[in-house]
Amino acid sequence: MAWVALLLVWVMLAVLTASALWVMRVSTLRDQQRALHTLAVVVSDELERGLDGVDEGLTAIANAIEEDGMPDDAAEASARLRRRVELMPMAQTLWLLDPQGRGVTRSDAIGFPPVDGFAPPLKANAVESLSFSRPFADPSAARPLVAIALPMETARYGWVVAGVPADVLLGAFQSALPEDEAEMRVSRSDGTLLASTDGSPLSRHVHLAEHVLIEGYGLQVDLFRSRDVVLHDWRASAQMAAVLLVLLAAVMAAALWILQRAQRRHEQAQQALRLQQARGERLEALGRMAGEVAHDFNNVLGAIAGYGEMALDKAEPGSAQARQLDRLIGATARGRALTERILAFSRGGARRSVVFVLQTVVEEVLEHVRSLKQPGIRLDVQLAAPEGRVRGDPAQAYQAVLNLCVNALQAMPEGGVLQVSLGQERVDAEQVLSHSRLSAGEWLRLVVADEGRGIDPVSMEHLLEPFYTTRAGEGGTGLGLAVVHGAVVELHGAIDVQSQPGEGARFALWLPVCAPVQEQHRAQPWKPGQERGQEQGQDSPSSQEFGQGRLPPAAGDSLHSALPSLEPESGPDRDQGKTWGRVPARVLVLDDEPELAALTATTLKSLGLDATAETRPLRAFDMLQTQPSHFAALITDERMPELTGTELVLRLREAGGALEQLPVILLTGQGGPMLAARAAELGIRHILRKPLERQELADALSSLLQKP
């Protein structure tokens, strides 16, 4: 019975081996089909870009002729066309035809193309689109040509035509095609073959094929590869396994090897996903930690800046003490800018959520980049999404794009090409990017690429972490790309980074497309207070749209308007305390940090208001409930141990009476669209960013405590 056992083992191994071989076959075909599809898309994109260049060149020639005409002298006209040919990389020659399609002028000795071979046909009043001829040979041309014609409207000329070598339509990707039984074809929509690679004829009944239609030009790109060649290695493995099945041990080893190889591929894919998830969790943890530190540091900066401003008010102008206090306040401003960048990475900043046109933001960044005038830098800009909108904070998007461009410039100290492109793309299936996962849907894809020193694998692993920098000796803080990551996550986007040392870097930001808002909520002008999270008026932040005009001023600009109305009026004090006209001017200040509460109260007193400082939210609620008309307004921090600021305001609104309409100013170091929405529901008109600026507080109070 041993042979039965051995036979059973052999059969089991044979079944397992056959199963593994089938899985390998399916996987091989699927991978090859995917690779062929990717190659077809790349080839068609390259061809479409080349045809765009031909279209633009022919359009420029037609416009020039329509405006300035052409010399009557044939030699001079030919010379002018030759100069135009030099500006069109794909074109070898140019012709001008009259409205009936007859040849008038040409750039060289190559004869005019046959008129009857074009599609769409050359005829009067044709739509302004390109027509492609059949390939034709000419004694003066070394290679077959394809004529590309564009209609024009002049009495003498009806068509401007470019002669393109047929093999140029195949592009540089001929070298990327597999060598064994592979073929690439470019055809017109009517099936006429324009160009194809040289190679062995394929058996059409057994092959892998990909077809990509270039709709704007009526062309189709076809890639073919023989399935027999694709499965050659797989068949060799199957034959070897069949031979090894004669020997039980060899069969078992072969089967185990095959299964282990398949398992390794699966584990490698899973490992890549786990590494990406771990990287994301690490960034999330660093973001939370950085946000906590920045929040606490904000409170410290607030106290230093506030008391520094008070001391500066009392210092003699021009004195050494005043200069020292100026330096102190300047240092706190730099610290504040640093905490804002950290909060941008941690997604804890008080951000607006509006619908805006991303291309407008990118154009503003490029204007700024051009103004830098860095020697040796050439910009290659391709923006093709003038109506593409995203939802989020436009200032945050501006900072992210600017950081990418500045990083690219810094990577090219000797000069190079900075490429910036923007387009709208549809993703049909989920993709795994270098640092994110991209779901299916409509996306705006922003690419910033440089020709710099590239990114090594170690740096790639920590690329988006805060404070990680390879330019520590050059003044780098390591927050630039961390801010980009925070902005992209807040915009619900994804990041893909491709780079090799010495080969430059390519950053792609994928941002989800947002539908335009309704007509009644068109773009509102940028308000200087809003980049710090202050929402004014009754409109919800989500009902605004930004992008029709210029970008906002840089974050950190403040509104320096006077506050003339906050002067105490003469007259007796009433029970409510000092008054401003008929409006009580006593304000309750609530902050769990005693120093900040006292500082804010002192600031209010310097503005002519009475202020009471409190550090416990529940005790403040009792004070307001006991004397609902005692205070004219409430200034409260959002983040406190017992109750948050919005939770306290909710209780006040539910209490009713005078508390239901009590004006409130909300202070926060960490906010965002959700906080802004909660505040709007509670009737909170002002959200101010910590550390607090005295002028900003004065402006908010001026809006709340207006005279009747």
Amino acid of residue 626: T
Query: CA 539 to CA 532: how far, in whole Å?
Result: 17
pLDDT tens digits along 214-236: 888 889 988 888 777 778 788 88
CA distances 700 to 270, 331, 648, 686, 694, Å, are 53, 25, 20, 7, 10
CA distance 590 to 612: 9
Residue 662 and residue 68: Cα distance in Å, rounded? 71
pLDDT value at residue 555: 33
pLDDT bucket at 478, cuts 50 / 70 / 90: low
Query: Concatenated DSSP letters for 504-532?
Result: -EEEEEEEE--PPPPGGG-B-PPPGGGGG
Mean pLDDT over 622-635 rounds to: 88
More confident residue, 530 or 206: 206
The pLDDT tens digits of the residues spanning 578-615 come to: 344 444 468 999 988 888 888 888 888 888 888 899 99
Tell me if residue 493 falls in helix, strand or coil: coil
- The strand pairing partners of 687, in sequence order, are 666
Whether the CA torsion 7, 262, 24, 202 is positive or negative: it is negative
Separation of alpha carbons 702 and 447, rounded Å? 45
User: DSSP class of residue 706?
Assistant: -
Task: For residues 581 and 306, give the distance between their C-alpha atoms in angstroms, rounded to a whole number.
Answer: 28
24 band by pLDDT with thresholds 50, 70 and 90 = confident
What average pLDDT does range 621-626 have in this prediction? Answer: 90
Q: Say whether pLDDT at 405 is over 70.
A: yes
**Beta-ladder partners of 389:** 357
d(CA 307, CA 28): 70
User: Of the given ranges (179-188, 549-558, 657-666), which has the lowest mean pLDDT?
Assistant: 549-558
CB 94 within 8 A of CB 161: yes
Mean per-residue pLDDT of the chain: 76
- Per-residue pLDDT band for 68 (boundaries 50, 70, 90) equals confident
Spell out a b/e string for 412-429, using b for 16 or more CB atoms within 10 Å of the CB, else e: beeebebbbbbebeeeee
Band of residue 508 on the pLDDT scale cut at 50, 70, 90: very high
Spatial neighbors of 641 by CB under 8 A, at least 6 apart, are: 592
In this prediction, residues 258-270 reach a mean pLDDT of 71
Cα separations (Å) of 390 from 218, 426, 663, 686? 32, 15, 33, 25
Percent of the chain whose pLDDT exceeds 70? 73
CB atoms within 10 A of CB 490: 22
Give yes or no for a contact between 331 and 300, defined as CB atoms under 8 angstroms apart: no
32-246 folds as Beta-Lactamase (3.30.450)
- d(C-alpha 502, C-alpha 452), whole Å: 7
> What type of residue is 473?
G
pLDDT of residue 650: 92
348 pLDDT more than 50: no
How do 664-668 and 633-637 pair as beta strands? parallel
Q: Which is nearest to 690 in space by CA: 310, 312, 332, 314?
A: 332
Q: What is the pLDDT of residue 6?
A: 55
What pLDDT score does 196 carry?
Answer: 86
**208, 229 Cβ separation under 8 angstroms:** no
| Of residues 201 and 382, more confidently modeled | 382
Candidate from 166-175, 276-285, 531-540 with smallest mean pLDDT:
531-540
Cα 393-394-399 angle, rounded to 5 deg:
100
Tokens of 462: 């920590």
Assign 447 a pLDDT band (cuts: 50, 70, 90).
very high
What pLDDT is attached to residue 163?
A: 92
> 128-153 pLDDT, tens per residue?
788 999 999 989 888 899 999 999 88
Helix H or strand E segment including 659: none
For residue 428, the number of C-alpha atoms closer than 13 Å in the C-beta half-sphere is 0
For residue 114, what is the DSSP state?
P
pTM score of the predicted model? 0.39
Residue 706 predicted with pLDDT over 90: no
What mean pLDDT comes out for the span 54-75?
87
CATH number listed for the domain at residues 354-546: 3.30.565.10
- pLDDT tens for residues 82-111? 898 888 888 889 999 888 888 889 988 888
Over residues 331-356, the mean pLDDT reads: 64
Longest distance between any two alpha carbons in the chain, whole Å: 116
| pLDDT attached to residue 657 | 82
Round to whole Å and give the CA distance between 676 and 691: 18
**664 pLDDT tier (thresholds 50, 70, 90):** very high
Phi–psi pair at 543, nearest 5 degrees: -95, 10
| Residue 334 phi, psi (nearest 5) | -65, -40
Whether 360 has a pLDDT exceeding 60, the answer reads yes
Give dist(CA 304, CA 328) in Å, integer: 8
Of the pLDDT bands very low, low, confident and very high (cuts 50, 70, 90), residue 12 is confident
pLDDT bucket at 531, cuts 50 / 70 / 90: very low
Half-sphere exposure of 377 (CA within 13 A, CB side): 24
Instruction: Provide the pLDDT confidence category of residue 517 given band limits of 50, 70 and 90.
Output: low
> DSSP assignment, residue 574?
B
* Confidence grade of residue 358 (pLDDT, cut at 50, 70, 90): very high
* β-bridge mates for residue 96, sequence order: 105, 160
Alpha-carbon distance of 547 to 526, in angstroms, equals 10
CATH architecture of structural domain 564-704: 3-Layer(aba) Sandwich (3.40)
Q: State how far the Cα of 458 lies from the Cα of 274, in Å rounded to an integer.
A: 17
If we measure between CA atoms, which residue out of 42, 43, 41 comes closest to residue 169? 43
Angle formed at CA 681 by CA 678 and CA 682, multiple of 5 degrees: 90
228-to-28, 178, 203, 224, 407 alpha-carbon distances in Å: 12, 13, 10, 12, 48
pLDDT band at 251 (very low <50, low <70, confident <90, very high): low
Residue 522 burial by CB count (10 A; 0-12/13-18/19+): exposed, middle or buried?
exposed
